[in-house]
Amino acid sequence: MIVFLTLIYVALLFLLIKLGKVPNSKMTWLTVIPYMLVLLIVLFIPMQWGAPTGSARVLTYSVAIVPNVAGQVIDVPVVPNTPLKKGDVLFRIDPTTYRAALDDLNAQLQLAKLRLSQNQILLKRNAGTLFQSQSYQAQIDGLEAQVDAAEYNLEQTIVHAPADGYVTNLALRSGARVTTLPLSPAMAFIDTSKTGVVAQINQIYTRYIESGQEAEVILKTRPGQVFTAKVMYLISSTAQGQVKVSGAAVQPLSTLPGPFQVRLKFDDAELEASLKPGAMGEVAIYTGEARMAHIIRRVMIRMNSIINYINPA
């Protein structure tokens, strides 16, 4: 941008020389140097913290689907990358063993209730004992708890979508066996109910960033377009500042200042919901400082948005 403004100044000098307004001398052309220095000091250096910019990406949550019960898959009705609503069926596990376990517990429960009823009759005739009735009641309470657990396990043989979203990279098929191990998820579910944009801003330029400030976002998937957003908050911490529990001695860490992340929210909620997770772009945040430089940043980000038509990087 500074080169562009310098070329405009050079073109203006050339025009004034042609019109005879200024002499065509070495001193006239040397004024380009102080002009560039003024631009650099007054506009472009303050712009870095007054209207900082950084890379941006669209983020959403990914849920590793791990069933609460193990078994053989008998049905996978979902289609990859097709929108789903919360509660839609993802897959079904063979319920035979879980239904049999529930039936067995229900039979034991009915027998325990019958024995309790019979013992209470005997107790009224002084032919039974209170201890035996209490034992049957305890047995009933335990069996009812087991029945609740068995009913829960039977319900868990049908796995539902945890939120609005879609399944991606689907490899699960009928006949496969799934487990309850968290390290062996059955599928990846993309939660689209909460989509947002995160920008990475160099630490040196984050000192004036505050919640509620205006921002503009351009995306590789939407060349030529500029979207307005607001700063939600600055995540001013990184893994470099995290102390982890370890049995090892202190290890030297990288001293390079990693960027901080800024969470943004689009002004258009429908647009935010339609964005593709993983879309990359650029963000410009307009703070309360160096307001004169804001117009330069606005021009620059619009130029970059147009360049996105031909620039894949």
CATH number, domain containing residue 88: 2.40.50.100
Domain boundary among 190, 223, 238: 190
In a domain, residue 261? The reply is no
pLDDT score recorded for residue 225 = 93
Decide if 166 contacts 194 (C-beta within 8 A): no
**46 within a domain of the structure (yes/no):** no
Under 8 Å CB-to-CB from 71, ≥6 apart: which residues? 93, 94, 95, 97, 98, 157, 177, 178
Q: What is the pTM of this model?
A: 0.72
One domain for residues 84 and 146: yes
Which strands make up the sheet holding 177-178, listed edge to edge?
Answer: 158-160, 89-93, 71-75, 177-178
Indicate whether 283 belongs to any domain.
Answer: no
CA nearest neighbour of 81 among 279, 277, 281: 277
**Three-state SS at 234:** strand
Residue 69 belongs to domain spanning: 62-190
Q: Quick one: the chain helix, strand, coil %, rounded to 5? A: 40, 25, 35
The half-sphere exposure of 246 on its side-chain side, counting CA atoms within 13 A, is 7
Contact 215, 284 (CB under 8 A): yes
Is 295 domain-assigned? no
The pLDDT score that the predictor gives to residue 17 is: 80
Pair of tokens at residue 30:
């040397």
Q: Are residues 27 and 80 in the same domain?
A: no
Q: Are residues 90 and 155 in the same domain?
A: yes
Q: How many Cβ atoms from other residues are within 10 Å of residue 274's Cβ?
A: 11
* pLDDT for the residue numbered 106: 93
Token output for 288: 């309360």
pLDDT by residue, tens only, the chain of 313 residues:
777 777 787 788 778 887 877 788 888 778 888 878 877 787 788 888 899 999 999 988 889 999 999 999 999 999 999 999 999 999 999 999 999 999 999 999 999 889 888 888 877 777 667 778 888 889 899 999 999 999 999 999 999 999 999 998 899 999 999 999 988 899 999 988 878 889 999 999 999 999 999 999 999 999 999 999 999 999 877 777 777 777 777 777 667 788 899 999 998 888 887 888 889 999 999 998 988 889 889 999 999 999 999 988 7
In a domain, 143, yes or no: yes
Both 85 and 179 in one domain: the answer is yes
Residues sharing a CB contact under 8 Å with residue 182, sequence separation 6 or more, in sequence order: 64, 66
Question: Are 8 and 87 in a shared domain?
Answer: no
Residues 80 and 147 in one domain: yes
Do 21 and 72 fall into the same domain? no
Of 221, 242, 247, which is closest to residue 312 (Cα–Cα)?
Answer: 221
**Using only C-alpha atoms, what is the Rg of the chain?**
34
Is 145 contained in some domain? yes
Q: Which pLDDT score is estimated for 118?
A: 82
By C-alpha distance, which of 274, 63, 86 is closest to 186?
Answer: 63
Domain C-terminal end among 162, 190, 218: 190
Kindly state whether residue 104 falls inside one of the protein's structural domains. yes
Q: Determine the pLDDT at residue 128.
A: 67
Counting the structural domains of the chain, the total is 2
Are 180 and 72 contained in the same domain?
A: yes
Q: Which residues contact 116 (CB under 8 A, 6 or more apart)?
A: 133, 136, 137, 140
pLDDT of residue 34: 81
- End position of a domain, from candidates 141, 161, 190: 190
For position 282, what pLDDT does the model report? 95
